[in-house]
Amino acid sequence: MKKQKRVVAIHDISCVGRCSLTVALPIISAAGFNTSVLPTAVLSTHTGGFENFTYRDLTDDIRPISEHWQSLNASFDAIYSGFLGSFEQIDLVAELFDTFRTDDNLILVDPVMADNGELYSVYSPEMAIGMKKLCAKADIIVPNLTEAAFLLEKPYIAEGYDQAHIEALLKNLAELGAKKVVLTGVSFDKSKLGAATYDSETGVIHYAFNDRIEGLFHGTGDIFGSTLLSALLSDFPLDEATQIAVDYVHECIVKTVELDQEKKYGVCFEQAIPYLIKRLGL
C-alpha cells in the first residue's frame, strides 16, 4: 500500500462563506490526502458580498509554526498557498517554501488577490506586485485573468481576446519562474468557460472548458485550485487534472443553482463531493 501523501494548505479562514481553508481542507481530504493547514488570517466572512467583516492578521504566527514543524522533522508532498494576510507574509511563505522544499514535492501557488479587474479590498498594488516573488518559487501557479494582469503589470482585458492573447499571457506568466501555469476564467465563446494550461518544459498548451452558468459564484477559484492539486497528487497529468477541476466547479455551481442557494455564501461543493471522488477514481 502506498504511503498517504501529506499536503499543507496556506490560506485564510473565512468563518462564513465557503472559500479558502473551509474549501481546501474538505476537498483535499476527501481526495484521500492528509491535509495540514497554516492559517494566514481569520475573517468573520469572506470579502466578497459582505460588509463590516472582521479581520485578524496572523502574520506573527507563521514563522513560529514553521519552526515547530521543523523541530518535528515534518515533511509535505505538496505545499499549496492561496490568500495571504499581509505584505510581510509573502517573504514568510517564500521562506517556508525554501525550508520544506524537496526534490519530489509539489509547490502550487494560487495568487489569490483579485477578480473582475479589481484587487480585493484588503490587498494593495504593492502586494500584488510582490506576489511575483512567491510565484517564482512555485512549480505551478494558478492565477485568474485579473491576477495575471496584476502579476504582469499589464492592462486587464475581460473579453474579446483571442487565443494568441491567452497563450502570450501563459508564456509571460511562466517567465516569472513556475514551470507550469494554469490560467482560469478563460472563455472564447459566451457559452463556455474554463482554463488554459502551459507546460514550459514541453511547450504544450491545453484548454479545458465546460458550459458557462451565468452569475457570480464566490469561492470557485479555491475549489478549482484544491481540485487541481488533488488530481495532480492522484497522478493525473496537467491537462486531465485541469479538466477534472473545471468539471467539478461546474458541478458545484449546478448544485447551487438547483438548491437555489444565496450566491454570496459560496457554492454547494459538499453536495458534489461524490462526483469528485468518482472522477478521481477513488
In a domain, 53, yes or no: yes
User: 212 and 187 in contact (C-beta within 8 Å)?
Assistant: yes
In a domain, 184, yes or no: yes
In a domain, 155, yes or no: yes
User: 111 and 84 in contact (C-beta within 8 Å)?
Assistant: no
In a domain, 128, yes or no: yes
In a domain, 187, yes or no: yes
In a domain, 1, yes or no: no
In a domain, 82, yes or no: yes
Using alpha carbons, list the distances in angstroms from residue 231 to 26, 95, 119, 183, 221: 14, 26, 29, 17, 15
Task: Quickly tell me which residue has 498548451 as its cell.
Answer: 205
Alpha helices, DSSP H only, in 187-265? Answer: 220-233, 238-258
pLDDT of residue 8: 98
Write the CATH number for 91: 3.40.1190.20
Report how many domains make up the chain: 1
Q: Can you give the residue range of the structural domain that contains 239? A: 6-279
DSSP labels, 48-109:
SS--S--EEE-HHHHHHHHHHHHHTT---SEEEE---SSTHHHHHHHHHHHHH--SS-EEEE
User: Per-block average pLDDT, block size 10, for the chain (282 residues)?
Assistant: 92 95 98 98 89 93 98 98 94 97 97 89 83 96 96 93 97 98 96 98 97 91 98 98 98 94 90 97 94
In a domain, 214, yes or no: yes
Task: Quickly tell me which residue has 463531493 as its cell.
Answer: 273
This prediction has a pTM of 0.96
